[in-house]
A and B are shown apart, each in its own frame.
Chain A
Amino acid sequence: NAGVMQNPRHLVRRRGQEARLRCSPVKGHSHVYWYRQLPEEGLKFMVYLQKENIIDESGMPKERFSAEFPKEGPSILRIQQVVRGDSAAYFCASSSKRGKDGYTFGSGTRLTVV
C-alpha cells in the first residue's frame, strides 16, 4: 500500500512564478490536509479538503494561495506570484475519515524561492 505521495520533492521557483504542489492521498482516503513548515518551526495548518470540497481553509493566506481536491486526480496546492517568504516545506496528509485519530503524512515538498 502506497502512502501519501507528494511531488515534486524539491521545487525551485523565481520570485513571481507559480508553484504547483501535488498530493496523492493513501488509496481510499478522501480527506486531505495541507500544512506548511517554516524553518525552525512546527507545522501550521493551511487547509482541509474532502473530495471536491474545501472544508476548512482558515489557515490559508488570503491571497495567492489556493487548493483543490478534484473528483479524479491528486490534490493541488497552488501558490501564485511566489515570494521569498513562501520558501518552506509543504506537507500533505490524508485520512479515511475526519482525522481526529491521526493522519498519514507525505514526505513533503520543499519549495525554495530565489
Chain B
Amino acid sequence: DAKTTQPPSMDCAEGRAANLPCNHSTISGNEYVYWYRQIHSQGPQYIIHGLKNNETNEMASLIITEDRKSSTLILPHATLRDTAVYYCIALGGGADGLTFGKGTHLIIQP
C-alpha cells in the first residue's frame, strides 16, 4: 500500500469548510484513496473513498488531483462533532486490513 502523509493537526472554525490534505505520491493505478475518522475512544468511521474522480456523499467531498499524487477531504460545514483524527489510506481493491498512519487531528473551534 502506498504511504500517505498528512499534517499532524489542523484547526477549523465551526461552520466553515474543513479542508484536510493528504499526499500519496507513490500511489499505484489500482489503489483507492480512503478516508476514515476516529472520534476519541470510539471505533473508526468510514467517510468516503475514490479512485480518480472527485466524489461526494452526505458526509464529505473528496478531491483527487489529476496525477493522483494528492487529495483533499472537504467537510463543507464543520461542526464541533467533527473534531476527530482523520486518516487517509491508500489501498488496492480487495479484502485487506487497513494500515493506519498518524492521521490529522482536526479540532473544530466554536
Tell me whether A and B are bound partners.
no
